[in-house]
Amino acid sequence: MLNIALPKGRLGDKVYKVLAEAGYDCHEAFDESRKRVFESTDAQVRYFLVKPSDVAIYVQHGAADVGIVGEDTLLESGAGVCELLELGAGRCRKSVAGKADFREDPDRSLRVATKFANIAKRYYAGIGREIEIIKLNGSIELAPILGLSDVIVDIVESGKTLKENNLAVLTEIFPISARFIANKTSYTFKEDEVNAMLKALKAAAEGERA
């Protein structure tokens, strides 16, 4: 049996379509229910619906054999997993945003509010900028408005939330999309099952792109 970790929320809604097209119908998992584990009728596959940032952790620790995760949360977790396919679904941008009229003072360290501390640290280390990280868990857009930080590092999809809060994208760090990942031991011992799912997802993702 293949154990599959899926993300709840916005990304989950997007990958659900691709999964259904690939023959992995998991509508029960996405229905309003408090049930956390769902088995397919033929008992070949078991789905877990977890927080998007936890998918990579479930896969890394082998509780799930495979999973679908946003590239940003995968990078943030630093999980050592096989990253087998870019799904295309859930495309957005990891960006630096701030007040539209923000002017950076290069004479002091930049205060950066984010959920993604590791990505922010790596990005600013790469451009040699000293920063102070303010780790937040939600409503990141509030930070520059209230003066908690100079900028934020966050996911930008349409940019609507930023605009509504008088914020703007200052720099795009990298584009992101959903990834199909596998635990290294599972990919060793369940190679055929994982490859069958990989093949089906690849075909479905290509269909989506077409």
Partner 1 sequence: MTMNRQPNLPAGERATLALRGLYEQFGFRKYQIGYFEEYGLYLQYKNFLTDEHIVSFTAPDGRLLALKPDVTLSIAKNIRLDNGPAKAYYIENVFREDRASGTIREISQMGLESIGFTSAYAQAEVLYLAAETLSAIGPASVLRVGHMGFILGLFDALGLSVADRTKVIEALAAKSPHGVEDAARAAGIGAVGLNVLSELCSLSGTADETFAKARGLCLNGRMSAALDELEATVRAVGSDFNLKPDFTLKGDMEYYDGLLMNGYVNGVPNAVLSGGRYDGLMKKLGRDLPAMGFALYLDDLKRLPRDNENDGADVILIADADAAPADLLAAVRSLTDSGRRVKVATAVPADANGAEVLRFDGKEVRSC
Q: Which residues bind partner 1 (CB under 8 A)?
A: 60-62, 80-86, 183-189, 191, 195
Smallest gap from Cβ 62 to partner 1, in A, equals 3
Cβ closest to partner 1, residue 25 vs residue 86? 86
DSSP-derived secondary structure letter, 147: T
Q: Which amino acid is at 164?
A: E
Cβ closest to partner 1, residue 149 vs residue 183? 183
Cβ closest to partner 1, residue 59 vs residue 140? 59
Smallest gap from Cβ 82 to partner 1, in A, equals 4
Beta-carbon contacts of 65 under 8 Å, excluding residues fewer than 6 positions away, are: 2, 3, 4, 59, 182, 183, 186, 190, 193, 194
Smallest gap from Cβ 85 to partner 1, in A, equals 7
- Burial (CB < 10 A; 0-12, 13-18, 19+), residue 96, is buried
Smallest gap from Cβ 200 to partner 1, in A, equals 15
Exposure string for 157-185, b = 16+ CB within 10 A, e = fewer = eeeebbeeeebbbbeebeebbbbbbbbee
Cβ closest to partner 1, residue 18 vs residue 84? 84
Smallest gap from Cβ 189 to partner 1, in A, equals 5
Cβ closest to partner 1, residue 166 vs residue 195? 195
Query: Which backbone phi and psi does 100 adopt, to 5 degrees?
Result: -55, -30
